[in-house]
Structure 1
Amino acid sequence: MFQRLKIAIDIAHAIEYLHYGTDSTIVHSDLKPSNILLDHDLTAHVGDFGLAKIISSILPVHESSSSITIKGTIGYVAPEYSTSYMVSIQGDVYSYGILLLEMFTKKRPTDEAFSDRINLHNFVSNALPDHVMEIVDPFIQTEHGMNSNKIKDCLASVLSIAVACSRTVPRDRISMKDVVIELRKIRDVLYR
């Protein structure tokens, strides 16, 4: 739990920096597990910027050239990218949310258990908060035991953030700035 949360915070910091850390906004556009690199200290780094787009600070952050074809990885790419060629920071937030859901449930968004009616987002959303221990990676349960209310509450909070990131409507998603703030709060609770 602790190491996963640290990795989640590292990734959130990186995406927050891309979105807000420079004069131009950078949209990664292909955030997925295979684009997360871990160094020898298990510090996470975001890699593979082949699909990244730099959006001028003059334009609103949701706009880009309409001649660009949006590509990404099925299961991680934001749903609005299938109907629009506009890249956005909200698309990265969606992908981050799916990545976070996968990290803590050990279920891929393309898992054959999911169909048109249920997806990874809905699977987790339906379990929150009371049934969180039924859907998390079983290793987390054995690592910390089922009786830790603090762990259950923190897992429910992390997964709630992931659900807030992976909402279908882009404007309903939490910002990466808020993700970083909330994940830090959870980390602080865990280390008390």
Structure 2
Amino acid sequence: MCQNLFLLNLANNNLIGFISPQVTGPSFSLVVLDLSGNQFIGVLPMEIGILKNLEYLNISENMLFGKIPTSLGSCVKLEFLDIRRNLFQGIIPPSLGSLRDLQELDLSNNNLSGQIPNFLEHFVYLKFLNLSHNHFENEVFYRAHDFKALVYEFMENGNLEEWLHPTPRVDDAHEEKRNLSLLNRLNIAIDVTNALDYLHNHCQTPVVHCDLKPSNVLLDDELIGHVGDFGLARFLLNNT
């Protein structure tokens, strides 16, 4: 039963039906599992937690639904987890707090809800996080010195589009502040450049944003630019 199989890549085919528990069962010692870009339906089998050596899991762009299995938290060696563009519901299970080695996490474009867990702040290796296009009730603020690309639902100063092309507001006492000096613009451009350089050249798996525009450049209370909304982003798995 291919007991020494450590990599299974079935990405970007027209595979349909359910993900068999046998794929994630104890017969394999998988390190890499890529089932992305197919038409799988149903739930992600609880047996996924048996894959103790799994470091890379990509099941994005399918039609999987139900809850994220709590057993996924047993895959403590995971460094890359991508479940974007599915139909997963419910909360981010607390068991995922065990995945302390995660470097890239994409849960975008699902139907997830509830609170964004605080344990994300303790993922010291996390370099890429995308939680956009869900129904979360709160914001996430991940504090790391080398984190260059983070998705925030809201920021105090909105996005760059609102500053470049402000919409007149009635009785807005702060309207006069919605002007960017040349230095502000230069600094924001540098922030965006640094974020893209990090995504392209310093992530373990290079990332292409694919939707960079002023409305996706978010500004914090100090007008520092943050690249947001990774719903169309793509990972370059065969980068040379």
Same fold (TM over 0.5): no
Higher strand content, 1 or 2: 2
Report which of the two has the higher share of helix: 1
Larger Rg, first or second structure (1 or 2): 2
Normalised by the length of structure 1, the TM-score is: 0.30
Higher relative contact order (CA 8 A, sep 6+): 1
